[in-house]
Amino acid sequence: MPRLVMKFGGTSVANLDRIRRVAKRVGVEVAKGYDVIVVVSAMSGKTNELVGWVGETGAFFDAREYDAVVSSAENVTAGLLALTLQENGIDARSWQGWQVPVQTNSAHSSARIGAIPSDNLDAKFRQGMRVAVVAGFQGISPEGRITTLGRGGSDTTAVAFAAAFDAERCDIYTDVDGVYTTDPRITSKARKLDRIAFEEMLELASLGAKVLQTRSVELAMRYKVKLRVLSSFEEMSDDAGTLVCDEEDIMESNVVAGVAFSRDEAKMTLVSVADRPGVSAAIFGPLAEAGVNVDMIVQNIAEDGRTDMTFSLPVDQVAHAEKAVRDAMAREEINFHDLIADEGVSKVSVVGIGMRSHAGVAARMFKALSAEGINIKVITTSEIKISVLIDRKYMELAVQALHDTFELEKI
Ligand code: ADP
Ligand code: ASP
Ligand code: MG
């Protein structure tokens, strides 16, 4: 029988009523003749609660136990949905990651899926199981420990199952009816896109649009999974939502497809470091070892053999980053006169494959920000995106201004 993967996020399974609605949706696909793999998230708010409890046990906790605790909320949803489906007369059972098994590496709290052997599920489908309800976000390491895939990781579980089981489609059901030109919570002018290219979606996700986890888009792109984002609260229809697809499958694309943002960023400057070969490696090596996700990097023009080095990072990693560079200084690997951390910045980005063939996008972007009196602190660009770091208090204003400038409400 053809296979389908359906993934339901936290708000879609927030209580038993919603789980019943999910079961109905799944039932519709089963009635069409699909064997369904349903991937579920934790009920909304549950993962945050568990993360909070782990944090309260101490500042430096065992990452393996963090995963053991934080993964557990998905188990509850999987069991409840399986029970509800059974109640509706559908042959369904729940599967925790280790039971499938979802094999990952040992990078606790941000593990990557290596393989999903299909034998166990296949055997059950052959025996008549119609729905496998899989707990998203979790897997098992080679050491036999429970792992999690990073926040938002159920999306990645879903796409990985679609690839491993050769599903006809992977439907990501969420609380919005598709991928928008920007987060609809920021502006009512945001418009739903009928289609978006994998590469654009990849950039939007990695630049902060949490509607899909970045890794899920990477996997879908690599394994050619037909990926759709749609609402679990609206009527079902075959052309609902947004299809994430190859660039070639989009007739005409806009220069800018969307605006993304990442609210909680920080900017760190090492003032007056020596300007000589090896200095960047001496700074960013220890930062990488400390697990700091450095994003933008700017080195100023050198004067008298010394320069300032500025970089951006998530705001909750500032303490780790400070320790890493100060320790490197104590070991005399680097030397700087001062360290300035600005914890009040956000990153705003515009993304679009049309930028490859259109000049002037950066100029339009900078002009729009300057018209609002917003100062740009750091800029980075790639082939299909431009990102700026600005004061956090202007973030919403910047997103709205850019949405207007690139006329995204007309899409
Ligand atoms: P789920 O719990 O279903 O996984 P998430 O909260 O992880 O849902 O993702 C959905 C949310 O992503 C939306 O409610 C929306 O606020 C946010 N979002 C951010 N950027 C976008 C975008 N460009 N298009 C749609 N939603 C977006
Ligand atoms: N429950 C996990 C989280 O909140 C995974 C997910 O929802 O995708 O991050
Ligand atoms: Mg999510």
What domains appear along the chain, each with residue ranges and CATH number? 3-175 (3.40.1160.10), 259-410 (3.30.2130.10)
- 254, pLDDT greater than 90: no
pLDDT-based confidence at residue 71 (cuts at 50, 70, 90) = very high
> Average pLDDT over the chain, rounded to whole?
96
Q: Which residue has the higher pLDDT, 59 or 307?
A: 307
User: For tokens 């059901």, what's the residue?
Assistant: 173
Ligand 2 centroid from CA 11, angstroms: 11
Cα 374 to Cα 265, 311, 354, 362: the distances in Å are 17, 20, 25, 15
Ligand 3 centroid from CA 213, angstroms: 7
The burial of 77, by beta-carbon neighbours within 10 Å (0-12 exposed, 13-18 middle, 19 or more buried), is given as buried
Average pLDDT rounded to a whole number, residues 311-330: 95
Q: Which of 69-73, 180-184, 271-275 has the lowest mean pLDDT?
A: 271-275
Distance in angstroms (rounded) separating the CA atoms of residues 4 and 172: 11
At 47 the pLDDT is 98
Helix, strand, coil share (%) of the chain residues, nearest 5: 40, 25, 35
Strands 35-40 and 3-8: parallel
Please give the number of the atom of ligand 1 that sits closest to the Cα of 155: 4
pLDDT-based confidence at residue 239 (cuts at 50, 70, 90) = confident
Handedness of CA 217, 315, 41, 230 (dihedral sign): negative
At 302 the pLDDT is 78
**Order of strands across the sheet that contains 138-140:** 113-115, 103-104, 138-140, 146-148
Phi, psi for residue 179 in degrees, rounded to 5: -90, 130
Contact 136 CB / ligand 2 (< 6 Å): yes
Report the percent of the chain where pLDDT is more than 70.
Answer: 100
- 238, pLDDT greater than 80: no
In sequence order, what DSSP letters do the residues of 127-143 get, joined into one string?
A: TT--EEEEETTEEE-TT
- 404, pLDDT greater than 80: yes
3-class state of residue 377 by DSSP: coil
pLDDT-based confidence at residue 346 (cuts at 50, 70, 90) = very high
Contact 10 CB / ligand 1 (< 6 Å): yes
User: Would you give the distance in Å from CA 322 to the centre of its chain?
Assistant: 26
pLDDT-based confidence at residue 344 (cuts at 50, 70, 90) = very high
At 338 the pLDDT is 96
The protein residue whose alpha carbon is closest to atom 4 in ligand 2 is 47
Please give the number of the atom of ligand 1 that sits closest to the Cα of 213: 7
- 340, pLDDT greater than 90: yes
At 237 the pLDDT is 79
Please give the number of the atom of ligand 2 that sits closest to the Cα of 48: 4
> The pTM is what?
0.95
pLDDT-based confidence at residue 391 (cuts at 50, 70, 90) = very high
- 229, pLDDT greater than 90: yes
At 284 the pLDDT is 97
Distance in angstroms (rounded) separating the CA atoms of residues 178 and 52: 30
- 50, pLDDT greater than 90: yes
- 24: nearest Cα among 196, 210, 173: 173
**Which of 11, 41, 72, 149 for a ligand 2 pocket mutation test, highest count of atoms within 8 Å of Cβ?**
41
Contact 216 CB / ligand 2 (< 6 Å): no
At 234 the pLDDT is 87
CB neighbourhood size of 288 (10 A): 13
- 276, pLDDT greater than 90: no
At 253 the pLDDT is 74
Strands 227-231 and 35-40: unpaired
At 271 the pLDDT is 96
pLDDT-based confidence at residue 61 (cuts at 50, 70, 90) = confident
Residues whose beta carbons lie less than 5 angstroms from ion ligand 3: 9, 152
Torsion of Cα atoms, 381 then 386 then 389 then 394, to 10°: 170
Average pLDDT rounded to a whole number, residues 166-188: 97
Contacts of 316 (CB under 8 A, 6+ apart): 264
pLDDT-based confidence at residue 58 (cuts at 50, 70, 90) = confident
Cβ proximity of 134 and 3 under 8 Å: no
Average pLDDT rounded to a whole number, residues 335-355: 96
User: For tokens 């991928």, what's the residue?
Assistant: 179
3-class state of residue 21 by DSSP: helix
